[in-house]
Amino acid sequence: MNTVFRGRHFINLEDFTKEELDTMLDVSMELKRKFAMGEDTPYLTNKTGFLMFFEQSTRTRNSMEAGMAQLGGHAGFLDTSSMQVAHGETAKDTAIILSRFGHMIACRYCNWGRGNKYLNEMVRWSSVPVMNLQDDLYHPFQGLADLMTIKEKLPDLRRKKISIIWAYAESHKKPISVPVTQVLLFPRYGMDVWLAYPKGWELPDWVIAQAKENAEKHGGTLTITHDEAEAYKDADIVIPKNWGNWVIDQTGASVTGATKVIDDALLANKSWKCTEAKMATASKDVMYMHALPADRDNEVEDSVIDGPHSIAYDAAENRLHTAKAVMTLLVGGK
């Protein structure tokens, strides 16, 4: 097994073997234990990281900033609207200079058809690890935290039914990066993954093809349905979350799609909401997850997200521990 992580980029979990992901999870658990015990973890002493955000953030920004501080380093928050990026500076120029100033660059850029390309252009020119804080296609930090949380709750993941379910929301047109990351990752751990959505909210064909390949290789399954009830039935974990109805071509570029947040197509599927009644059809020990922020009373009833089946806050906490693990391995590791 390759245990050399230092200097590698963190753009997509597909870039790492299952054994390497297991190492990340092991380190995450160790750092979580040390955090609980109040032990110092000075693995990035005097290291500097730059956190570039094209969009708003709560969990991602603070897990990275707090994580870097707890590891003994310093994270500089960069709002790209106040950088020269706003005046047209290229990803190449930004990456070259920031990588000469510090030890890592992390970036969130979810603009459709642009985000992932921008991060990969930074990868091309940066001399330090570039980390994906979420782009239009992938959210690797969220995926790793989700996986850590599921493994904490269900030590044996094989043949567990994990349902990724589209949900109605009005807050904003959300990227597909969370469900894409989950549908690619979970089959690699032998889970029976169900992907449920109304017609019109399909994920890209290349994502589904890769997810099916991952499932076949690792003993999991992938089932796609437009029947919400089928996805809830006997599920061990449900993840009802909105994503936008964009059409994505095979290169990952945005081709077409509704631009309005709320339109007739969205309103026609307002019934796709996580309710106590739907949760009652799942396994008696079903767990509810969400990457947060949830669009309360649209995506989910308060009684579900605040109820005994919810592990949404546990997953949010694990964003800190997995972020610290990735930074330790890639920036300060072997």
Mark whether 184 and 265 lie in a shared domain. Answer: yes
CA distance 88 to 204: 30
Mark whether 28 and 91 lie in a shared domain. Answer: yes
Q: Does residue 217 sit in helix, strand or coil?
A: helix
Number of residues that make up the chain: 334
Show the domain range for 214: 140-315
**2 belongs to a structural domain:** no
Closest CA relative to residue 208, chosen from 219, 198, 194? 194
**99 belongs to a structural domain:** yes
CA distance 328 to 128: 13
Bridge partners (DSSP) of residue 53 are 79, 108
Mark whether 120 and 242 lie in a shared domain. Answer: no
Closest CA relative to residue 266, chosen from 241, 239, 293, 245? 245
pLDDT value of position 175: 93
- The domain that holds 308 is classified in CATH as 3.40.50.1370
Mark whether 80 and 40 lie in a shared domain. Answer: yes
Closest CA relative to residue 286, chosen from 178, 165, 166, 179? 165
Mark whether 67 and 182 lie in a shared domain. Answer: no
pLDDT value of position 66: 98
pLDDT value of position 259: 63
What sign does the dihedral 263-229-203-286 (CA atoms) show? positive
Mark whether 275 and 158 lie in a shared domain. Answer: yes
Residue 43: DSSP 8-state: T
**286 belongs to a structural domain:** yes
pLDDT value of position 313: 98
Mark whether 170 and 89 lie in a shared domain. Answer: no
CA distance 26 to 18: 12
The whole model's pTM is what? 0.94
**4 belongs to a structural domain:** no
**5 belongs to a structural domain:** no
What's the number of domains the chain is made of? 2
What's the CA angle centered on 89, arms 83 and 93, to 5 degrees? 105
Q: Which tokens belong to 111?
A: 């603009």
**1 belongs to a structural domain:** no
Q: Which tokens belong to 32?
A: 């979580």
Alpha carbon separation from 71 to 154, 169, 203, 325, 332 (Å, rounded): 29, 37, 37, 10, 10
**88 belongs to a structural domain:** yes
Report the mean per-residue pLDDT for the chain: 94
46-81, pLDDT tens digit by residue? 999 999 999 999 999 999 999 999 999 999 999 999
Mark whether 22 and 118 lie in a shared domain. Answer: yes
Mark whether 162 and 275 lie in a shared domain. Answer: yes
pLDDT value of position 262: 84
Mark whether 77 and 211 lie in a shared domain. Answer: no
Mark whether 207 and 302 lie in a shared domain. Answer: yes
pLDDT value of position 261: 79
Which parts of the chain register pLDDT below 70?
Answer: 1-2, 247-259, 333-334
Q: How would you write 143-193 as a 3-class SS string?
A: HHHHHHHHHHHCCCCCCCEEEEEECCCCCCCCCCHHHHHHHHHHHHHCCEE
Mark whether 95 and 238 lie in a shared domain. Answer: no
Phi, psi of 10 (to 5 degrees): -130, 85
CA distance 275 to 300: 6
**8 belongs to a structural domain:** no
